[in-house]
Amino acid sequence: MTSLNISDVLVRHNLSDFKELFQNPAHSLRLKFAADKTENNPSRAGGRPSLPLAFDWPVSRAKIPLGFLCQIDLSQLKSFKNSYEPLPAKGVLSFFYDAFDGPWGNNIDDSQGFRVFYFEDQALLKKTDPPSNLPPTSVFAPCSVSLHEELSYPAITIEMATLSPGGYETFDAYLAAAEEIYGDSVIHRMFGFGQDIAGDFKLDCEIASTGIELEDDFDFSSPEGEKLALASEQWVLLLQLDSDEQAQMMWVDQGRLYFAIRAHDLAARRFHKVWMICETR
């Protein structure tokens, strides 16, 4: 969609005051889910993941198995016009989450509630049944995943909306505009701008992953706050996973999961450094 189209959308939804937010879009990969009980697509969500034979299924701090969310075949990325380096050119990225306890990722203690694994040699992977004690809340319907390039734009969050003249209703207007821009209210995405709901997931990643505890009255406009904001710019959106009825995924109340990683950790393939934030209305 061109910038002129975006301007028209903003006008239609009374969001012209936010036009500067939409001036510099970023390339992203949109993930589309389709029900697929065969589980044969290299990129897929739910069902049984492809894992190495000696793989130890991840568990939470309470020793409860994490749910398998999705896996992405990285060799598919070479067919796109734009580069998504420094992701590896081959292999599989697999995402897991504790959908039983549902950690928000806002505390350093949540670190055992999500995992991302990178498997370089896809030939060594085979479909693997989940543990027998996997909670029903962590079982998701198998779907094939197709990847498509699209422009992404920063989101108008609840926080931004409530500070605007239109108040909270501005956020509802933005949701309608976003559905028009992206063609759907369900938005799974890699790279580009995340569609934040409540606040800034990158800033939350920086704070939580480093174990920083802030007072309720912490001033984000202070020098310390500005340092945090600058540090948060290092984070890259690795995966935004939306609530999706088709995959039987629901994060609180129509929320989203954001898996992010610092750019230097991504370049070094340190996927154990990924952090996750859950946001909802």
**pLDDT tens by residue, 27-61:** 999 999 999 999 999 999 999 999 999 999 999 99
- Provide the β-strand partners of residue 141: none
- At 118 the three-state DSSP class reads strand
**Residue 2: predicted pLDDT:** 45
Q: Residue with structure tokens 């350093």?
A: 108
Cis ω for the linkage preceding 52 (within 30 of 0): no
Instruction: Name the DSSP class of 149.
Output: E
**Residue 217: predicted pLDDT:** 86
| Assessment of whether the complete model's pTM goes beyond 0.85 | yes
CATH superfamily of 3-279: YwqG-like (2.30.320.10)
> Torsions phi, psi of 161, nearest 5?
-65, -45
Average pLDDT in the chain:
95
Residue 100, pLDDT > 50, answer yes
**Residue 85: predicted pLDDT:** 81
Residue 3, pLDDT > 80, answer no
> Torsions phi, psi of 229, nearest 5?
-65, -40
Which of 81-90, 171-180, 196-205, 251-260 shows the lowest per-residue confidence on average (mean pLDDT)? 81-90
What residue ranges do the domains of the chain occupy? 3-279
Q: What is the pLDDT of residues 140-178, one digit of tens each?
A: 999 999 999 999 999 999 999 999 999 999 999 999 999
Q: Which residue has the higher pLDDT, 187 or 218?
A: 187
Which of 23-27, 171-175, 181-185, 219-223 shows the lowest per-residue confidence on average (mean pLDDT)? 219-223
Q: Give percent of the chain above pLDDT 70.
A: 99
Q: Give percent of the chain above pLDDT 90.
A: 90
Residue 1, pLDDT > 60, answer no
